Protein backbone atom coordinates (compact mmCIF):
# COMPACT_ATOMS: atom_id res chain seq x y z
CA UNK A 1 0.00 0.00 0.00
CA UNK A 2 1.33 3.41 -1.00
CA UNK A 3 1.47 5.91 1.85
CA UNK A 4 -0.29 9.29 1.21
CA UNK A 5 3.00 11.11 1.66
CA UNK A 6 4.54 9.01 -1.10
CA UNK A 7 1.59 9.66 -3.41
CA UNK A 8 2.07 13.37 -2.81
CA UNK A 9 5.78 13.20 -3.62
CA UNK A 10 5.02 11.43 -6.90
CA UNK A 11 2.30 13.91 -7.82
CA UNK A 12 4.71 16.80 -7.34
CA UNK A 13 6.67 15.68 -10.39
CA UNK A 14 3.67 16.07 -12.70
CA UNK A 15 2.95 19.30 -14.58
CA UNK A 16 -0.52 20.90 -14.43
CA UNK A 17 -1.59 19.54 -17.83
CA UNK A 18 -0.77 15.97 -16.86
CA UNK A 19 -2.24 16.45 -13.40
CA UNK A 20 -5.59 17.90 -14.46
CA UNK A 21 -7.14 14.60 -15.65
CA UNK A 22 -6.11 12.93 -12.40
CA UNK A 23 -7.67 15.74 -10.37
CA UNK A 24 -10.87 15.63 -12.45
CA UNK A 25 -11.13 11.89 -11.82
CA UNK A 26 -10.80 12.58 -8.10
CA UNK A 27 -13.34 15.42 -8.27
CA UNK A 28 -15.84 13.16 -10.03
CA UNK A 29 -15.49 10.60 -7.27
CA UNK A 30 -15.91 13.21 -4.53
CA UNK A 31 -18.82 15.01 -6.20
CA UNK A 32 -20.64 11.75 -6.92
CA UNK A 33 -20.42 10.82 -3.24
CA UNK A 34 -20.87 14.21 -1.56
CA UNK A 35 -22.58 16.58 -4.01
CA UNK A 36 -21.59 20.17 -4.70
CA UNK A 37 -21.58 21.34 -1.09
CA UNK A 38 -19.30 18.50 -0.06
CA UNK A 39 -16.82 19.02 -2.89
CA UNK A 40 -13.97 21.25 -1.71
CA UNK A 41 -10.47 21.80 -2.98
CA UNK A 42 -9.24 19.97 0.12
CA UNK A 43 -11.53 16.96 -0.43
CA UNK A 44 -10.38 16.69 -4.04
CA UNK A 45 -6.76 16.95 -2.93
CA UNK A 46 -7.31 14.19 -0.39
CA UNK A 47 -8.99 11.94 -2.96
CA UNK A 48 -6.15 12.52 -5.44
CA UNK A 49 -3.45 12.01 -2.81
CA UNK A 50 -1.95 15.48 -3.24
CA UNK A 51 -1.82 18.69 -1.23
CA UNK A 52 -4.36 21.48 -1.69
CA UNK A 53 -1.81 23.87 -3.30
CA UNK A 54 -1.28 21.22 -6.00
CA UNK A 55 -5.00 21.44 -6.86
CA UNK A 56 -4.80 25.24 -6.97
CA UNK A 57 -1.90 24.97 -9.42
CA UNK A 58 -4.33 23.44 -11.92
CA UNK A 59 -7.64 25.14 -11.03
CA UNK A 60 -8.08 28.64 -9.64
CA UNK A 61 -11.07 27.73 -7.47
CA UNK A 62 -13.82 25.17 -6.95
CA UNK A 63 -16.10 26.65 -9.64
CA UNK A 64 -13.35 26.39 -12.25
CA UNK A 65 -12.69 22.80 -11.21
CA UNK A 66 -16.37 21.91 -11.41
CA UNK A 67 -16.80 23.63 -14.78
CA UNK A 68 -13.90 21.62 -16.19
CA UNK A 69 -15.44 18.44 -14.80
CA UNK A 70 -18.86 19.31 -16.22
CA UNK A 71 -17.33 20.01 -19.63
CA UNK A 72 -15.66 16.59 -19.66
CA UNK A 73 -18.73 14.68 -18.50
CA UNK A 74 -21.03 16.66 -20.82
CA UNK A 75 -18.91 15.53 -23.74
CA UNK A 76 -19.58 11.92 -22.79
CA UNK A 77 -23.31 12.58 -22.53
CA UNK A 78 -23.52 14.60 -25.74
CA UNK A 79 -21.84 11.79 -27.65
CA UNK A 80 -24.40 9.36 -26.27
CA UNK A 81 -27.23 11.75 -27.22
CA UNK A 82 -25.99 12.03 -30.80
CA UNK A 83 -25.55 8.27 -31.05
CA UNK A 84 -29.10 7.70 -29.78
CA UNK A 85 -30.82 10.05 -32.23
CA UNK A 86 -32.00 8.47 -35.51
CA UNK A 87 -29.77 9.03 -38.53
CA UNK A 88 -32.86 9.50 -40.72
CA UNK A 89 -35.99 10.59 -38.81
CA UNK A 90 -38.14 10.05 -41.91
CA UNK A 91 -37.63 6.28 -41.71
CA UNK A 92 -39.88 4.58 -39.15
CA UNK A 93 -42.40 6.11 -36.77
CA UNK A 94 -41.73 8.64 -34.00
CA UNK A 95 -42.70 5.96 -31.47
CA UNK A 96 -40.07 3.60 -32.92
CA UNK A 97 -37.47 6.38 -32.91
CA UNK A 98 -38.13 7.18 -29.26
CA UNK A 99 -38.10 3.51 -28.25
CA UNK A 100 -34.81 2.73 -30.00
CA UNK A 101 -33.07 6.02 -29.27
CA UNK A 102 -34.15 6.33 -25.66
CA UNK A 103 -33.28 2.70 -24.92
CA UNK A 104 -29.75 3.30 -26.20
CA UNK A 105 -29.51 6.64 -24.41
CA UNK A 106 -30.72 5.33 -21.03
CA UNK A 107 -28.49 2.30 -21.32
CA UNK A 108 -25.55 4.67 -21.69
CA UNK A 109 -26.75 6.74 -18.72
CA UNK A 110 -27.03 3.63 -16.54
CA UNK A 111 -23.52 2.58 -17.56
CA UNK A 112 -22.10 6.04 -16.70
CA UNK A 113 -23.96 6.99 -13.50
CA UNK A 114 -21.33 9.41 -12.22
CA UNK A 115 -21.64 11.57 -15.33
CA UNK A 116 -25.37 11.89 -14.80
CA UNK A 117 -25.05 12.51 -11.06
CA UNK A 118 -22.80 15.49 -11.58
CA UNK A 119 -25.10 16.99 -14.22
CA UNK A 120 -28.13 16.54 -11.97
CA UNK A 121 -26.34 17.55 -8.78
CA UNK A 122 -24.76 20.64 -10.27
CA UNK A 123 -28.22 22.15 -10.72
CA UNK A 124 -28.63 22.53 -6.96
CA UNK A 125 -26.49 24.72 -4.74
CA UNK A 126 -24.00 25.52 -7.50
CA UNK A 127 -22.67 28.92 -8.46
CA UNK A 128 -24.62 30.68 -11.25
CA UNK A 129 -21.86 30.12 -13.80
CA UNK A 130 -22.03 26.36 -13.14
CA UNK A 131 -25.83 26.26 -13.24
CA UNK A 132 -25.74 28.17 -16.55
CA UNK A 133 -23.45 25.49 -18.02
CA UNK A 134 -25.89 22.75 -16.99
CA UNK A 135 -28.83 24.62 -18.54
CA UNK A 136 -26.89 25.04 -21.79
CA UNK A 137 -26.25 21.30 -21.98
CA UNK A 138 -29.93 20.57 -21.44
CA UNK A 139 -30.92 23.11 -24.10
CA UNK A 140 -28.73 21.18 -26.53
CA UNK A 141 -30.71 18.03 -25.79
CA UNK A 142 -34.05 19.79 -26.28
CA UNK A 143 -32.96 21.26 -29.60
CA UNK A 144 -31.72 17.88 -30.80
CA UNK A 145 -35.08 16.32 -29.99
CA UNK A 146 -36.93 19.11 -31.79
CA UNK A 147 -34.86 18.80 -34.95
CA UNK A 148 -34.87 15.01 -35.18
CA UNK A 149 -37.36 12.88 -33.27
CA UNK A 150 -40.22 15.37 -33.22
CA UNK A 151 -39.78 16.89 -36.67
CA UNK A 152 -41.26 13.74 -38.20
CA UNK A 153 -44.44 13.77 -36.09
CA UNK A 154 -47.49 13.71 -38.35
CA UNK A 155 -50.41 16.03 -37.82
CA UNK A 156 -48.80 18.53 -35.45
CA UNK A 157 -50.63 21.83 -35.81
CA UNK A 158 -48.62 25.07 -35.67
CA UNK A 159 -45.27 23.21 -35.51
CA UNK A 160 -43.24 26.37 -34.96
CA UNK A 161 -45.16 26.97 -31.74
CA UNK A 162 -45.81 23.39 -30.62
CA UNK A 163 -42.63 21.47 -31.46
CA UNK A 164 -40.50 23.36 -28.89
CA UNK A 165 -43.11 22.52 -26.25
CA UNK A 166 -43.14 18.84 -27.24
CA UNK A 167 -39.33 18.75 -27.26
CA UNK A 168 -39.28 20.16 -23.73
CA UNK A 169 -41.80 17.56 -22.58
CA UNK A 170 -39.82 14.72 -24.13
CA UNK A 171 -36.57 16.06 -22.66
CA UNK A 172 -38.22 16.21 -19.22
CA UNK A 173 -39.37 12.60 -19.53
CA UNK A 174 -35.89 11.56 -20.68
CA UNK A 175 -34.31 13.36 -17.76
CA UNK A 176 -36.79 11.81 -15.32
CA UNK A 177 -36.06 8.31 -16.61
CA UNK A 178 -32.31 8.87 -16.31
CA UNK A 179 -32.73 10.16 -12.78
CA UNK A 180 -34.81 7.09 -11.88
CA UNK A 181 -32.02 4.86 -13.14
CA UNK A 182 -29.03 6.73 -11.79
CA UNK A 183 -30.23 8.52 -8.65
CA UNK A 184 -33.36 6.72 -7.43
CA UNK A 185 -32.24 3.18 -8.21
CA UNK A 186 -35.41 1.99 -9.96
CA UNK A 187 -35.76 -1.70 -10.77
CA UNK A 188 -37.11 -0.83 -14.22
CA UNK A 189 -34.69 -1.41 -17.07
CA UNK A 190 -33.74 1.23 -19.67
CA UNK A 191 -35.80 -0.66 -22.26
CA UNK A 192 -38.87 -0.73 -19.99
CA UNK A 193 -38.66 2.99 -19.26
CA UNK A 194 -38.11 3.78 -22.94
CA UNK A 195 -41.19 1.75 -23.87
CA UNK A 196 -43.38 3.78 -21.53
CA UNK A 197 -42.13 7.07 -22.98
CA UNK A 198 -42.46 5.84 -26.58
CA UNK A 199 -46.07 4.84 -25.94
CA UNK A 200 -46.82 8.32 -24.58
CA UNK A 201 -45.23 9.88 -27.67
CA UNK A 202 -47.03 7.53 -30.08
CA UNK A 203 -50.38 7.90 -28.37
CA UNK A 204 -50.47 11.59 -27.63
CA UNK A 205 -47.84 13.78 -29.27
CA UNK A 206 -49.18 13.19 -32.76
CA UNK A 207 -52.57 14.62 -31.81
CA UNK A 208 -51.36 18.06 -30.73
d(CA 101, CA 80): 10
Confidence of residue 13 (pLDDT cuts 50, 70, 90): low
Give residue 152's pLDDT.
60
Average pLDDT over residues 190-208: 77
Answer yes or no: is pLDDT of 168 > 50. Answer: yes
Cβ-contact 58, 41 below 8 angstroms: no
- Of 57, 61, 73, the closest CA to residue 127 belongs to 61
The mean per-residue pLDDT over the stretch 102-113 comes to 83
Residue 154: phi, psi to the nearest 5? -80, 150
Model pTM score: 0.66
Contacts of 20 (CB under 8 A, 6+ apart): 58, 59, 68
Torsion, Cα 99 76 111 113, to 10 degrees, reads -110
Give, as one character, the DSSP assignment of residue 15.
-
Amino acid sequence: MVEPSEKRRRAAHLGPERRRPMLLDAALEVFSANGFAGTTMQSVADAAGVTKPVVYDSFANRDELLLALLAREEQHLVLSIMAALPADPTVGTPEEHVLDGLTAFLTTAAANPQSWRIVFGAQYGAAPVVADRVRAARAFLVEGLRLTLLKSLPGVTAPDANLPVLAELLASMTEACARMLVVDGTERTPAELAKVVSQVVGGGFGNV
